[in-house]
Amino acid sequence: MRPLNSHFSHHALPTLDTLMKHSKEARVFRRAQAVREVVDGQTVKAVSDTFHVTNSALRKWIQRFAQEGIDGLLDRPGSGRPAKMTGELQSQLNHLSIKTPSSMARSIHSGAVANSPPC
């Protein structure tokens, strides 16, 4: 099976390297890493085996990168209702989740949780 690297410009590898350095999302990093391997000359079959993804999923990532660049590897908006939780509430919940039960009880009695806005 022939590699697909002939379909990409010489800027593809540096672009993917930059995305991998700056990506904070594991899914996007993984897609960039897999596509980079194909652009670098590996076969789709070898890369899909290494990354434990289907050939069709990897080919979709490659096609999206070829057509849309970095944006093609980013997560697409999901279907369904948007989350109702605000960033502030998420931050409060994260803070409470790391507290010990006794310190959380003191926070509840002092009104820190009782005065929080409802979900």
pLDDT in tens, 12-48: 888 898 889 988 889 999 999 999 999 998 999 999 9
- Which residue matches tokens 């590898």? 13
pLDDT in tens, 79-117: 888 777 777 888 888 877 777 677 666 766 666 555 555
Q: How far is the C-alpha of 5 from the C-alpha of 39, rounded, in Å?
A: 4
* 57 vs 79 pLDDT, higher one: 57
pLDDT level of residue 63 (50, 70, 90 thresholds): very high
Looking at residue 109, its pLDDT comes to: 66
Looking at residue 83, its pLDDT comes to: 73
Structural domain spans, the chain: 5-73, 85-119
Looking at residue 110, its pLDDT comes to: 67
Burial 85-116 (b: 16+ CB within 10 A, else e): eeeeeeebeeeeeeeeeeebeeeeeeeeeeee
